[in-house]
Amino acid sequence: MKRRSFREAECPVARTLDAIGDWWSLLIVRDAFDGIRRFSAFQQNLGIAKGILSTRLRDLVEAGVLSLAPASDGSAYQEYVLTEKGRGLFLVIVALRQWGEDHLFRAGERRSMLVDAATETPVDRLKLHASDGRGLTWEDTRIVDAASCAPKGSPSPPKSA
């Protein structure tokens, strides 16, 4: 009765959710983007049980999203910091944020906001584009099998690995 795994799914969305799609992981990652690094800081900020946090952090480190580094304040403790792979989740967080802003707030309700630090102005909306720059909506797209759609530099035909 184990939870189904999509680690080997053909769909990248499924693999991503398999890796970080549980209830707490993305919240932890969001906190990491907000500068939180210490176990107790995550725990207090999220109100998560320590046992769960412990396994989630371990899983995220195992997944290569976070890594353990010596504390920046010189103490003997360690900190959890985003790896390059973890920082790659930024647009996932932004996409979640923009959807929430659009659909989950009543008018005038207090909310945090993502701004361009240089100008303090809100960032632009994410948009999807074709390779030639045209804007795309869901209706303009299709899912195909990679084998049938080799990109320019066709790295290698899917023979073994």
Please give the structure tokens belonging to residue 65.
Answer: 């999203």
Q: What are phi and psi of 69, to 5 degrees?
A: -135, 155
Residues from 62 through 81 that contact a copy of itself (CB under 8 A)? 64
SS3 135: strand
Euclidean distance between CA atoms 155 and 108, whole angstroms: 50
Give yes or no for residue 154 binding a copy of itself (CB under 8 A): no
Q: Could you say which residues in the range 36-55 bind DNA, by CB under 7 A?
A: 38-41, 47-52, 54-55
State yes or no: residue 35 binds DNA (CB under 7 A): no
Q: Distance (Å, rounded) from C-alpha 79 to C-alpha 121?
A: 31
73, 76, 144, 153: residue in contact with a copy of itself (rule CB under 8 A): 144
Interface pattern 15-54 for a copy of itself (x via CB under 8 A): xxx-x-xxx--xx--x--xx-----------xxx------
For residue 67, the 8-state DSSP code is: E
Pairing mode, strands 121-122 and 128-129 = unpaired
> Nearer to DNA by C-beta: 71 or 130?
71
DSSP 148: G
Convert residues 53-82 into a mask of x (bound to DNA by CB under 7 A) and - (unbound): -xx-xx------------x---xxxxx---
Block residue for tokens 């630090």 = 117
User: Footprint of DNA on this chain (CB under 7 A)?
Assistant: 1-4, 22-24, 38-41, 47-52, 54-55, 57-58, 71, 75-79
